[in-house]
Amino acid sequence: MEEKSEKNKEIETSNFIRNIIDDDLESGKHTKIITRFPPEPNGYLHIGHAKSICLNFGIARDYKGQCHLRFDDTNPAKEETEYVESIMEDVHWLGFDWGENLFYASDYFQQLYDYAELLIKNGKAYICELSQEEIRATRGTLTEPGTNSPYRDRSIEENLDLFRRMKAGEFEEGAYSLRAKIDMASPFICMRDPVMYRIKYVHHHRTGDEWCIYPMYDYTHCLSDSIEAITHSLCTLEFENNRPLYDWFINELPVKHKPRQIEFARLNLSYTVMSKRLLLDLVKSNVVNGWDDPRMPTIAGMRRRGYTPQSIRDFADRIGVAKANSMVDFDLLQFCVREDLNLNANRVMVVLDPLEIVIENYPEDKVEYLEAENNPENPNAGNRYIPFSKRIYIEREDFMEQAPRKWFRLSPNSEIRLKHAYYITCKEVIKDKDGNITQLICTYDPESRGGWSKDGRKVKGTSHWVCKDHAIDVDIRLYDHLFTVPDPMIVPEGKDYKYHLNPDSLNIIQSKAEPSLKEAKIGDKFQFLRQGYFSVDYDSIPEKPVFNRIVGLKDTWAKEAKK
Ligand code: ATP
Ligand code: MG
């Protein structure tokens, strides 16, 4: 076997769907593979959709086929152009392209209507006058058959006439619907004369007021797949029971292409919710600041937070594709993000919670520029120069007055290294009248420039720091999970999904950053030494940079988990 050199090759990208495709190619059933990603434009895409995008576009890429982007826009009441645009942006950002294959189910409204007339003419569909509730009530249960609608045996002529008048806008909403005439006793409830069309006087974002009858999802989806010559129609498991209906429409109509529906497990991620309905609710009720709030599991939110497309694709590869539903640990996603950023994010120094140090033996007005490497993981990342002078800040948590024996950072009379700079020793602790530490007086060893002593003397700890006079003020947004429990949908009776909302999912602090960050642009990503990975937020302005914490460093994460 060839050696697997690239990191991603280690991940098994093969799956049961690819096995089916391999068989179909081998048997000659297909020569070109066509998949599709069919979002309904009623919200922003989330990480679950990313799984589906990576699967569908990934297959098209690897089999040199094509993947269509099709908007499933049959429910005009909930759909908006804003969502269409955000979806296109997100798919592109993830690194995929549909090329010329951009479609809308609404493009097929006329064809779908013609097919419906054909079914009526073939005695396979009828106009029903039962209300939605009555239809539900007569559908039966898993153990009991449904009952036939009293309108089931209308003549073909009457059905055609009524259907045309529905289309012409002669009736009120809910007065009539078109139903497929299948079998009210079928073990598959979806086969018990499902509704195909309902009357809706709603403006459609693409077809305007041209239509007042709209086709249902189950009817539209399979036929849209067929019209586009999709070979493998990949959908999530909850559609497994609808497959007989998918095949029924395809088989009852004179279609050229018969796509095969294959179901796979949807992605569930711990500490978040993934239903568009709930995500919309979080936005509408201002629990978060919009669809792209960095705490949201949306692609837009993850992009804003600083996740990279590469890390999300890597995540999709690692979770794989299977038939059984399961919950994936949020840590795995963060692991993938860290892996990517470790290689690609430059290191900088930012003191989140500053404590001032005065170096008493350092000349008052001297400023030195010390060389610092940008990324030890990347030989091409180069170096920069950071200013050093008499007054600096270190992290407040890096000093302890009464330090335990195993304390490796600063404490009275102990010596530590300042990263890229000098050894310092703490001589005196200054406090305010309430006993809070306000300043440390230290000395430095001029012979230890660069952070290495001439005599080979070792120190146990290294701290990051910034120079007080040159530091810039930055806002830091620290994020935690949106929910406090892995599965927020498990709630006590009478409570809803907001029960487990985390009140501390966002924390904003004011910090001090090294001056090189003045140049940072929105979206730039950095490792703040010892603090994690951060990206420049959209709200950032030159006078006040704003950073999002993307993810902590591995050790901080492990440490936090133990708390
Ligand atoms: P929701 O129920 O949250 O509204 P949806 O499935 O109705 O989601 P669509 O816009 O219809 O949203 O989804 C587009 C495609 O993405 C579908 O093929 C669907 O199967 C897939 N998809 C949606 N959610 C997930 C998920 N959590 N994991 C994997 N695929 C998903
Ligand atoms: Mg859907």
Q: Model confidence over 56-113: pLDDT tens digits? A: 999 999 999 999 999 999 998 887 899 999 999 999 999 999 999 999 999 999 999 9
What is the CA 519 to chain-centroid distance, rounded? 28
Does a structural domain hold residue 271?
no
231, 35 in Cβ contact below 8 A? yes
Question: 208 and 337: one domain?
Answer: no
Please name which ligand lies nearest the alpha carbon of 266: 1
Report the length, in residues, of the chain. Answer: 563
Ligand 2: distance of its center to the CA of 486 in Å? 24
Among 419, 446, 464, identify where a domain stops.
464
Does a structural domain hold residue 469?
no
Question: 331 and 357: one domain?
Answer: no
Strands 260-264, 267-269: pairing is unpaired
Q: Is the CB of 267 under 6 A from ligand 1?
A: yes
Asked whether residue 25 carries a pLDDT value surpassing 70, the answer given is: yes
CA 475/CA 537 separation, integer angstroms:
10
Q: Give pLDDT tens digits for 396-444.
A: 999 999 999 899 999 999 999 999 999 999 999 999 999 999 999 999 9
User: What local confidence, expressed as pLDDT, does residue 325 receive?
Assistant: 86
Among 205, 229, 264, identify where a domain stops.
264
Ligand 1: distance of its center to the CA of 233 in Å? 13
pTM listed for this prediction: 0.93
Question: 357 and 419: one domain?
Answer: yes
Question: 511 and 422: one domain?
Answer: no
The CATH number covering residue 34 comes to 3.40.50.620
Question: 340 and 358: one domain?
Answer: no
Question: 302 and 402: one domain?
Answer: no
Ligand 1 atom nearest to CA at 279: 3
Does a structural domain hold residue 383?
yes
Does a structural domain hold residue 113?
yes
Task: Locate 194 and state its tokens.
Answer: 């499902």
Ligand 2: distance of its center to the CA of 477 in Å? 33
The CATH number covering residue 544 comes to 2.40.240.10
Active-site residue flag, 40: yes
Residues with Cβ within 5 Å of ion ligand 2?
Answer: 40
Question: 182 and 39: one domain?
Answer: yes
Q: Give pLDDT tens digits for 348-375.
A: 999 999 999 999 999 999 999 999 999 9
Task: Locate 557 and state its tokens.
Answer: 């994460």
Does a structural domain hold residue 443?
yes
Question: 450 and 514: one domain?
Answer: no
Does a structural domain hold residue 1?
no
Helix %, strand %, coil % of the chain (to 5): 30, 25, 45
Ligand 1 site-directed mutation target among 42, 49, 71, 84, most atoms within 8 Å of CB: 49
- The protein residue whose alpha carbon is closest to atom 25 in ligand 1 is 48
Residue 22 structural domain: 13-264
Q: Give pLDDT tens digits for 107-121.
A: 999 999 999 999 999
Model confidence at 560, pLDDT cuts 50, 70, 90, reads: very low
Question: 205 and 66: one domain?
Answer: yes
The total number of structural domains in the chain stands at 3
Ligand 2: distance of its center to the CA of 556 in Å? 39
Phi, psi angles (nearest 5°) of residue 251: -80, -25
Question: 78 and 186: one domain?
Answer: yes
Question: 145 and 211: one domain?
Answer: yes
